[in-house]
Each structure stands twice: as C-alpha cells, then as structure tokens.
Amino acid sequence: MPSLTPNSLASLLESAVKIRSSLLGRATHAQTIKTLQYPLSPFLANHLINMYSKLDLPNTANIVLQLTPTRSVVTWTALISGAVQNGHFSSALLQFFNMRRENIQPNDFTFPSAFKASASLRLPFIGKQVHAIAVKFGQIYDVFVGCSAFDMYSKTGLKHEAQKLFDELPERNVVTWNAYISNAVLDGKLINAVNAFVEFRRAGGEPDSITFCAFLNACADPLYLDLGRQLHGFVIQSGFEADVSVSNGLIDFYGKCREVRLAEMVFGGMEKRNAVSWCSMVAACEQNGEEEKACVFFLKGRREGVQPTDYMVSSVISACAGLAGLELGRSVHALAVKACMEVDIFVGTALVDMYGKCGSIEDAERAFHEMPERNMVTWNAMIGGYTHQGHADMAIRLFEEMKSEVAPNYVTMVCILSACSRGGAVELGMEVFKSMRDRYMIEPGSEHYACIVDLLGRAGMVENAYEFVKKMPIRPTIEVWGALLNACRMHGKPELGKIAASNLFELDPKDSGNHVLLSNMFAAAGRWEEATLVRKEMIDVGIKKGAGCSWLTAKNEIHVFQAKDTSHAMNSEIQAMLVKLRMEMKAAGYVPDTNYALHDLEEEEKITEVWYHSEKIALAFGLIAIPPGVPIRITKNLRICGDCHSAFKFISGIVGRKIIVRDNSRFHHFQSSQCSCRDYW
C-alpha cells in the first residue's frame, strides 16, 4: 500500500469534518502518526486541530495544540472557530486571549468568532476589548470583522455603539445589511428594518435569501401586509420564489398577517418542501384559528415522511387543544415521546394546555409533573386547566405553589380570578384583585375587571357588580358588560340587564349572542312582549342567531349534530335511544325546563323543542357508538342550556357513564347524577 502524502491526509481530515465522522478523523490521525514523524508539520497540525475542534472534541484538539511547537494564527483560529461553532463560547474567548499572550495577531477569521462568542455570552465589555484589538491592528474596517462587531453590539444591547459603528463602516456588503435588518427586527424596530432595506436597494445592493427572510420578518404584522405583498412581487421578479427558505418565510409572513389562504397558495406552489415548510404551514393554520387544517397539514406531512420538529409538534398539539381533539392529541403525544420531545419545555407546555382544554385533567397533571423544567406559560396552562374544569380549589392551591418558583403575570391573574369566580370564592377573588398592584406590580386590565364583575354577579351580588363597573378607571369592555348581562339573566335582574345590553349593543351591534341572552332573560321573567321585541329588532337589522351545534369523535371520525338533526346515517337508532332515555328519565323524576323554548308554543311543543337540542342528540349517538366504560366527550359551540344540563345529570346516573361537555364557557363533568360545576355556572 503506497504511503499517504500530507496533502491526501489533509483531504481525509477535511472529509471527516464534512461528514461529521470522528471515527474517520481518528483513523486518519493514527495513519498520520504511523506515516510521518513527530513533531507534525504546522500544515497537518492545523488540520487535526480544526477537525477535532469542529467535531466537538475540544480536549483532543487542545492536546494536539500543546504538541504543536509552531503555532500560527491559523492554528488558533481553527481552535476558536470550532469552539464557537459548538457553543463553547467561554472556551473560545479564553483561547483568543491565550493566542494574544503568545503575541499572535488575529486575522479577519479570528475576530468574527471572538465577537460572536462575546455576543452569545452577553458580555459587551469583552466585546469592546476585542473591538479595541481589531482597531489596533486595522482590521475593524474589514467588511466581515466590522459586521461581526456591529452584530455583537446589537445583540448585547449597546444600540448607540452599534449604530455608530455601522455609520462608520467604509464598506457594507449584503451580510452587513442583513445583520442590520435582522437586529432591527429582533429589537422590535420594524420601521428601521424597512428603511434599511430601502436604503440597501437605493445603494444598488442585491438581496439574497437571508435579506428577503429578514425583511419578511419585519413585515410579519397585519399593519405591514401591503408592504410584504410588494416584497413578494419583488421576490418573484428576482427569481427567488424557488428558494425554499424564502418560500418558508412567505408562509410565515402570511400566517402572521392572518392570510392563511395566501400562505396555502405559496405552500401549494413550492416545487420542493422541507420540514420547515410543513412546520410553517401547520403553525400558520393554528395561529389563525384553522385548527382542523393544521391537523390535516400535519398528517399529510407525516405521510410524506417529514420528521416533525419540536415547534411543529407543539403547534399541532395546540391545534388539538382548540378542536378538543383528545385522541389525535394523544397520538401526537406518543410521537413526541418516541422522538424524545416531551422533555422540551414548549412541547410539554402544549401538552399540559391540550389535556386541560380537552377535559382530561389527570393527563394534564401527569404531563405537568413530568416536565423537567417549567416556565410561566406552563404554570398558567395548568392553572387554566383547573379553572376550565371547575376545580377552583386546585387552581388556587397551584397558584400558591407557583409563587415560590416564579412571579405571576397578567395571564396568571386572569386565570386565578376566573377560578375564584367559578368556585364562588368572592372574598379570595377580591383579595387577589386588590393585591395585583401592591404585591405583584401588575396593572389590572379589562379581563381582570370582567372577572370581578363575573365573580360578584355569579354570587348574586348583581347590584355590587354594577357599582363596580361604574367605578372602573377604564372604559368597560364587551367582556365586562357581557359578564354583567349574564349575571342579570342568572339572577333575574331585567332592568339592570337592559342597561348592560344597551352598552353591549353600542360596542358590538352585530353580535347575536347578546340579543339572544337579553331575549331569554325577558322570557324567563315572563316579559314576553319585550322578549319578542328584542327578537324582532334582530330581524329588522339583519342579525341572525348563530346555529348551535355539538360534535363528538367516535371511531376516528367527527360527528356533528344540530338541533332536531335527522340527517345522520344512524338516525333511527339515535331516535330510539332518545325515546328510551326520555322514558327512563321521566320515571326517575325528570321534569323538562321549557324556559329555553320559544314562548309562543304549546307546552308539549316546548318539551319537544328542548328535547331535540344538539347536545342531547350527540349524547344519544355517543351512547350507541362509544363502548361502555369510555367517557363520552361532547363539544358545543354555544353555552349548554339549563334543560340539557339537568338532563345530562339524570342520564349520567341512569346509564352509569361519565359524560364530559365542553361548551363555549367551560367544562361540565357529569357523573352519578352530579356535575363538576355544582350547578354554579
């Protein structure tokens, strides 16, 4: 076998770096020792140090360094850049200053690595020292060194120094402008980013894919939709529409601008897609309330062999939460476990949130306690889960535990005040509200005021709630007046209800729910003429009541029902089950609450009207299609009516099944003729 030359050995070491093979690198090192005499030439020593450093074997790289008597700037730069590449920023800076102790002058490759290490460690005073050295050796005006120094100052918060350095650069290439635009976006100065792009173009600069992506990030707000669309046209004109990263940026841009249709158009026109493409599309759908589409894109991506990222998994889990899609959520959870992603803080938090919103509080608790670390969002998700389930005592207990680890924020206080409201803890709720400013330095917002109105209103203190509204330091919002109107309906306060409704109509005249709530309140009080008048006003101004529907999942299929629905393939079995339930409930003492039917019907017609509400039809189907022992989970787009609530308590006791209903307000767990809300809803 012919002996290997230094050049061929160097080529093998470069190949080891390229394919990330430490085995090939070590074998080549062994062959080098066997073939050549020590000490090695600086040429091969530099290649070995570069290889070990880039493959994240810093100890071995240092040993080779110590065995190399003649060390140049290339030797040290290989060691420093490898350390930075693998995230060993402190080590990189230490080696930089060791190099200076040997009186070796850094070059235009060394300085960028040192600046990046300073920026990553958020050490501007070190960065300034490196800057001074670059000035001393006349390297600061090199376009790459200057760009790296600018990026360091930007990322360490020294905006004035960054701008001064940028203005003084004699030459700016596309990398410099990309750094300027990207840092302006990260700093929230979108206008600066836009202006920089315009200035870059006026100076004759030709953008690359990074420029386009940075500019799209600057436009990722509905306020800048038109500007982003203009850039989209320029992308096509420049021939970059085939660039995968730019197309991914466009999908993300349109998603954040609430233009899912345009995001789909870009996605559909891509010749090549990568995991980021699918991830961006899933996220765009989930962020815009298109949860079902998000799940469809996720499943299509999986069928095409896309390996999901932690961001994609957390996005689709959030979509499952919005759909109350427990079974798909569990499947994605299994995928996350298989890929060792469940320990990721974002995936774990999404799981806690999903299980809480799907009514499986036990699974939410398990996911919460299995997380190796938690952030503020994780705690809020768990507290919110308890709140939605009606477990006010558990939410409050977790809130006390949370305070020993992290300080509560705005969202935490909304969750805990909602828990107090739903649990009837008036004194505690008022105490928490009063402590927001003094103890937690949180300025109460409209959501907090709405929670207090709801808290007082649910407890029957409707007049107190109205007085609270009148004394609010901010203008009452739709949520505030809505909470008061709901309290007036619950406790029969039609005069105050008219005041709340009047303000609601002024703030949101097209919302049918407020009109229906007012009409039902008058009907419950026997004031039929006023109830009819409200309904007539709705017709006159063209407001249509939103259609109520309920759905559940059985055998991997979603079944949707509306009131009086007879369209289902199993309609005859559903009707037979409804008749059977009605007979058994009547024998058990059930009396229909016909306050939820139109007043101009005969009593028998009213009974029939409330009996064929969508949630009852869904429940009848669930009893047929879902095996015994498995909870029946129903979701409704409106609030469950009082008669259905009463009926479900009876049915849960008669059939011995757990029934979980998620309406547009909260969860109701029916079991053994009881509901988790304790009729306090």
Q: Following DSSP, what letter does each residue of 172-184 receive, concatenated?
A: --HHHHHHHHHHH
Averaged confidence pLDDT in the chain: 88
Contacts of 25 (CB under 8 A, 6+ apart): 13, 16, 17, 51, 52, 55
User: CA 388, CA 470: separation in Å to the nearest integer?
Assistant: 28
d(CA 130, CA 78): 18
Could you say which residues of the chain have pLDDT below 70? 1-3, 37-38, 512-515, 517, 520, 523-526, 528, 531, 534-535, 537-546, 594-607, 680-681
Among candidate residues 165, 145, 92, the one with its CA nearest the CA of residue 123: 92
Whole-angstrom Cα distance, residue 342 to residue 338?
Answer: 9
Q: What per-residue confidence (pLDDT) applies to 1?
A: 40
CA distance 185 to 196: 11
User: Under a CB-based contact definition with an 8 Å cutoff, are residues 508 and 514 in contact?
Assistant: yes
C-alpha 178: how far from its chain's center?
A: 27
Nearest to 287 by CA among 247, 260, 250: 260
Q: Which of 275, 250, 270 is nearest to 260 (CA)?
A: 250
Buried residues in 223-250 as b, exposed as e (16+ CB within 10 A):
ebbebbbebbeebeeeebbebebbbbbb
Coil vs helix vs strand at 562: strand
pLDDT computed for residue 182 by the predictor: 92
Taking alpha carbons only, the member of 634, 652, 632 closest to residue 584 is: 652
Distance CA 283, CA 336 (A): 17
375 φ/ψ sector (left φ>0, alpha ψ -120 to 50, else beta): beta
Alpha helices in 169-259 (DSSP H): 174-186, 190-202, 209-218, 225-238, 244-256
How many other C-beta atoms lie within 10 A of the C-beta of residue 369? 10
Q: Are 157 and 185 in contact (CB under 8 A)?
A: no
Residue 364's closest CA among 393, 319, 323, 394?
394
**In this predicted structure, what is the pLDDT of residue 82?**
93
- Distances in Å between the Cα of 643 and the Cα atoms of 519, 589, 591, 624, 679 are 17, 14, 9, 22, 12
Residue 543: CB atoms within 10 A of its CB come to 19
Domain coordinates in residue numbering, the chain? 394-541, 549-675
Ramachandran area for residue 475 (φ above 0: left; ψ -120 to 50: alpha; else beta) = beta
* Predicted pLDDT at 545: 62
The overall pTM is greater than 0.85 = no
- The pLDDT of residue 359 is 85
Are 295 and 319 in contact by the 8 Å Cβ rule? The answer is yes
Q: What is the DSSP letter of 633?
A: E
Please answer whether residues 41 and 76 qualify as being in contact, where contact means their C-beta atoms are separated by less than 8 angstroms: no
- CA-nearest of 513, 512, 527 to 483 is 513
394-541: CATH topology is 1.25.40
Residue that is written with structure tokens 């709530």 in the block: 517
Greatest C-alpha distance within the chain: 107
Alpha-carbon span 197 to 203, nearest angstrom? 10
Torsion-angle region of 474 (φ positive above 0: left; ψ -120 to 50: alpha; else: beta): beta
The one-letter amino acid at 269 = G
CA–CA dist 462, 446 (Å, integer): 18
3-class secondary-structure state, position 368? helix
Q: Where are the beta strands (DSSP E) in 95-203?
A: none
Give the CA angle between residues 198, 201, 203 to the nearest 5°.
110
Say which residue the tokens 């005073």 belong to: 125
Report how many helices (DSSP H) and strands (DSSP E) the chain contains, helices first: 36, 6
Structure-token pair, residue 648: 């479900």
Measured distance CA(258)–CA(285) in Å, rounded = 9
Residue type, 542: G
> Do 432 and 417 contact (CB within 8 A), yes or no?
yes
Nearest alpha-carbon partner for 614 in 667, 551, 526, 546: 551
Name the packing angle between helices 110-120 and 143-155 (round to 10°): 10
Q: Token match 């787009």: residue?
A: 637
How far apart CA 178 and CA 144 sit, in angstroms, is 12
603: its two tokens: 């009593």
